[in-house]
Chains A and B, each alone.
Chain A
Amino acid sequence: MTAKRIFGILAHRLAILGYLVFALFPLYWLVKVSVTPNKLLYSEGVRLWPSRMSLEHFAFVLKHSDFPIFFKNSLIVSGSTAIIVTVFASTAGYALSRFNFRGKYWIVALMLLTQMFPLVMLVAPIFKILSPLGLTNSLTGLVIVYTAFNVPFATFLMQSFFDGIPKDLEEAAMIDGATQFVAFRQIILPLTLPGIAATLGFVFTAAWSELLFSLMLISGNQAATFPVGLLSFVSKFSVDFGQMMAAGVMALVPACLFFLLIQRYLVQGLTAGAVKG
């Protein structure tokens, strides 16, 4: 091993370390402040770890704030969105993957169009449509909106998973007398289970993070999702940094769990929804 090679390896590892620090430091700081007791927060300034840890902020947030409600609302909204989107996207994705039909081009074009225009355009008209239906300030309204926003991308994602399964399987089943829908449900869907899990994960994360429409459509605390609740908490109690960050850690946990679930499928997901975050 020459000195030059050793230097190369060293530089490589140092660069990786740099990226790791940059990626993780903000999250580390979030956790650190959330476990720092209020007294030490100001006296110890920028110390990397407090001399004493406490979970008082978490206890306060869980017992004396509305965050458990926000958390539950977000869980309901993101969970139902993920399930409904996955059902709709798997049938639509199956159609795009297995059939050649006249409208296919137009369906794909429509779905691509929805990925290209700025969603912020829809903030006002969607509010105007949902308001007389009583769907503003309601979790159902949010689920409907999020479902529609995520269906196109999830359809392309499911299509890519179906494309990976050989057609012979359904053909064999249909020769044995099954209808195509039965073949789809009993043979193809079980084979795409990992893909379905990935789609659930992607949609859950997207719905969990959505901010603008929940700000626009939700006003009271009862139907507030986590982002809305956290932002109103921040503007009201902007000095309780420990509590805000404890709430932030709570918002982070489900996102990280679902990230682990979909980690293996990131590439497929990002290319299917190329324009999606």
Chain B
Amino acid sequence: MEGTDDLFDDIIMCEQRYRGEGYEEGLAEGNSAGESEGKQYGAVYGARMGSELGCYLGFASTWRLLLVPASDDRQRRKIKALDSLIAMIRNFHSDDPTNPNLQEDMANIRGKVKQVCSMLNIQPDFQINPSAKGLSF
């Protein structure tokens, strides 16, 4: 009967080994699938973000150069708002998705863009989208 105990041990070890083998195989596959999937989502999300930010920068920089230098108070305020928007975009660490202030900074930038458009009395061609989806999943 002493062989029985050994056999039970063997069975348990076998179970563990098979489980482990499956796990290792799954892990490798999961790693690669996850990375690929993450990159795909990240690239698309980042692309949208980059396009949006770039668009605001180009828009603000162009308007900054279109406006005649401070002729009156109202003009001065417009220029000030544009300068502040350009500074906000330049100081924004846009390419770091782990930045904890990413959403908040982005919301502030969008707010500034809306304010600038209102001050300039124009409706831009692009959408100022305040409802970007969350970063993590």
To the question of whether A and B form a pair in one complex, the answer is no
Query: Which chain B residues have a beta carbon within 8 Å of chain A's beta carbons?
Result: none
